[in-house]
């Protein structure tokens, strides 16, 4: 998908949310207290995380990777962005 993507909501404790963008900003807003493991990968922009204290790290040249958990029990959120920023925030 090209263009901005926004998800605002919850992830089921046994569910999976996968977001992929080839160009454009990705914003994921989750409710406070939701349980989820989050893996965000970005190859041409920044990753901004205001959900946890985790910070992205550099991978493969210009790539960035963020791995964090909101709770030990919850769903999985996977975000891949090739160009554009990724923002994780509270809903």
40-73 pLDDT, tens per residue? 999 988 999 999 999 999 997 889 999 999 877 8
Confidence of residue 35 (pLDDT cuts 50, 70, 90): confident
* Sheet bearing 75-81, strands edge to edge: 16-21, 75-81, 36-42, 63-69, 57-59
Q: Is the pTM of this model over 0.75?
A: yes
- Which pLDDT belongs to residue 38? 95
52: Cα within 13 Å, side-chain hemisphere? 18
Banded model confidence at residue 1, pLDDT cuts 50, 70, 90: low
Structural domain total, the chain: 1
Note down the domain range covering 9.
5-90
**By C-alpha distance, which of 50, 39, 42, 21 is closest to 76?**
39
pLDDT value of residue 28: 96
């Amino acid at each position: 998908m090209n263009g901005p993507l926004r998800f605002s909501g919850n992830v089921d404790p046994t569910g999976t949310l996968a977001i992929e963008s080839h160009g454009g900003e990705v914003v994921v807003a989750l409710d406070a207290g939701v349980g989820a493991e989050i893996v965000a990968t970005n190859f041409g922009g920044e990753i901004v995380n205001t959900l946890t204290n985790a910070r992205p790290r550099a991978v493969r040249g210009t790539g960035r990777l963020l791995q964090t958990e909101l709770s030990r029990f919850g769903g999985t959120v996977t975000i891949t962005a090739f160009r554009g920023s990724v923002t994780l925030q509270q809903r």
